[in-house]
Structure 1
Amino acid sequence: MNTIFKDFDDTKEAFFNPKDWQKGVEGFPEICVSTFSEGVIKKFAEMEGVEVIASLYSVNGVIPIYKIKYGGKEIAFFLSRVGAPACTCGLEEVIAMGAEKIVLFGSCGILDKEAADGRIIVPVSAVRDEGTSYHYLPSSEEVKVGKAGIDKVCDCLEKCGYPYVKGRVWTTDGIYRETRKAIADRKAQGCIAVEMEFAAAAAVTEFRNIPFVQFLYGEDNLDSREWEPRGLLCPDLSRVEKYMALAFECGLAL
């Protein structure tokens, strides 16, 4: 084991911290929802009554953070950048601004077609095949999320009429290194889907003691002889927009 990952440092204060970069925002909503689809974020940002309340800044550009009223409660939402390091930086900064509950959702690749095809995937744990989570939690094969949050997501899915499956996922940084052997190995570990952020997002929210849930919807299929891109190359925005409302429901339930 690489000593960088083995020698975990649980010190809460780093050399510089999210609060050094992003100050608290007065009136920042308790619930914050994020996803990776720019099209969906833009769609909701154009709705009546939605306003910009803050921004995330990086050399990649500026990401606005919006506020919407849903179910009688104010909810923040913003676009997460793809990949564990970038995604967790955004989460760290909205927590520093005042977010107290986080809901994240996005697409994934299907590893077990029989279990996951056509269903919302509720991750209960993830194989940690990325680097970010090891800076927030001690080294281990997987990271898990709490049962209470999972149960609340499942209750929302049942209430909203969405078929779902709970299971382990594979979080990896190397999307172009999902070899046949790696896929077979992860399937043997019980992974039903592959994505890029869950393990890290679960780790940072546990480290910061923030209630967190995530759900996934399948796009490309890796449980086949050849890769099936399906909606990954041309996503159905009307479908994903419904998942945004589902994420708001999950936030209210947390």
Structure 2
Amino acid sequence: MATIFERWDSAKTALINPWNVIEEKPDFPEVCITTFSADMIDRLAESRDGKKIAELCSANGNLPVYEIRYGGKRIAVFLSRVGAPACAAGLEEIIAMGAKKIVMFGCCGVLNQSAVQDKIIVPVSAVRDEGTSYHYMPASEEIHAETSSVNILKNSLKKCGMSYVTGKTWTTDAVYRETQSVIEERREQGCLAVEMECSAALAVTQFRKIPFVQFLYGADHLHADRWEQRDLAEYGIRNFKKYMQLAFECALAL
């Protein structure tokens, strides 16, 4: 396994690069917002007269990229696919189109209910329990968010009047292999949450030198002996306006 996860190739170009398959779009918005809820993207595009300006194409189907205006600024918005590899590919392609700064948010599983209750989670680092990030950054147990990006998020949270908690998240590839022993190990490491993309998104954006802000909100709970689905089925749509307001304020501040 060391030949896979510890043998990082620092070459900036690969055999196939995003710019080989994605055409750069003239006048593409500088800042892009992405999330994982299709309902949120659809509702945003409809409520703010989103204009379709591009598509991300794959065998899973095409994902529209919309342009939204907020605070006098043009902002691109698109749906990220769930899971580190698919999410990373989408980020690579949106950067190739012309995005220079990115805001990402999504739901997560809660590992520490008392710390997270009714708060936005500000990930300052992520445990790299996925494979994608190891192709972008040297091997390490964790990857850290840029301090400047964390500060932008904190300031935006204060501006929006939202409570938050800072801490570590656990990024895993295997949603159905979150065993009790591993969950307890991650809690002991200080992880507040578990999700599937954070460490990979940090690695891609740091590798490409793209300013990047991301925040999480709790959905299902893994803090007890039994899994509790809670709000997982709706993926945060109930608080759609709250999360989008925060994302837009981060986009303006980036």
- What TM bracket, shorter-length normalisation? over 0.9
Contact 1:40–1:241 under 8 Å retained in 2: no
Moved more, 236-245 or 67-76: 236-245
Q: Which residue of 2 aligns with 1:174?
A: 174
Kindly provide the CA deviation profile for residues 91-136 of structure 1, in whole angstroms up to 9, marking residues without a partner as x. Answer: 0000000000010000000101111121100100000000000000
Q: Distance in 1 between matches of 2:49 and 2:82?
A: 28
Q: Distance in 2 between matches of 1:249 and 1:142?
A: 28
Contact 2:111–2:187 under 8 Å retained in 1: yes
Q: Distance in 2 between matches of 1:250 and 1:143?
A: 21
Residue 163 (str. 1) matches residue 159 (str. 2): no
Q: Distance in 1 between matches of 2:215 and 2:26?
A: 29
Q: Equivalent pairs: percent with the same residue?
A: 56
What's the TM-score, normalizing by structure 1? 0.98
Q: Distance in 1 between matches of 2:48 and 2:104?
A: 23
Letter aligned with residue 184 of structure 1: E
Kindly provide the CA deviation profile for residues 60-82 of structure 1, in whole angstroms up to 9, marking residues without a partner as x. Answer: 00000000100100000000000
Secondary structure in 1 aligned to 2:234? Answer: coil
What's the TM-score, normalizing by structure 2? 0.98
Q: RMSD of the TM alignment (CA)?
A: 1.0
Secondary structure in 2 aligned to 1:217? Answer: strand
Letter aligned with residue 61 of structure 1: G
Q: Distance in 1 between matches of 2:86 and 2:167?
A: 25
Q: Which residue of 1 aligns with 2:201?
A: 201
Structure 1 runs of 4+ aligned residues shifted over 2 Å read none
Contact 2:128–2:142 under 8 Å retained in 1: yes
Q: Which residue of 2 aligns with 1:144?
A: 144
Structure 1 position 6, deviation (Å)? 1.0
Secondary structure in 2 aligned to 1:251? Answer: helix
Q: Which residue of 1 aligns with 2:67?
A: 67
Contact 2:107–2:235 under 8 Å retained in 1: no
Structure 1 position 240, deviation (Å)? 2.5
Kindly provide the CA deviation profile for residues 197-249 of structure 1, in whole angstroms up to 9, marking residues without a partner as x. Answer: 00000000000000001000000110012111100023452302320221111
Residue 84 (str. 1) matches residue 84 (str. 2): yes
Unaligned runs of 5+ in 1: none
Task: Show the 5 A alignment for 1:9-24.
Answer: 9-24=9-24
Unaligned runs of 5+ in 2: none
Secondary structure in 2 aligned to 1:104? Answer: strand
Task: Show the 5 A alignment for 1:1-254.
Answer: 1-254=1-254
Secondary structure in 2 aligned to 1:45? Answer: helix
Contact 1:28–1:98 under 8 Å retained in 2: yes
Q: Distance in 2 between matches of 1:48 and 1:36?
A: 18
Q: Distance in 2 between matches of 1:248 and 1:95?
A: 18
Secondary structure in 1 aligned to 2:224? Answer: coil
Count of residues in Structure 1 that have an aligned counterpart in Structure 2: 254
Q: Distance in 2 between matches of 1:15 and 1:229?
A: 42
Q: Distance in 2 between matches of 1:148 and 1:212?
A: 9
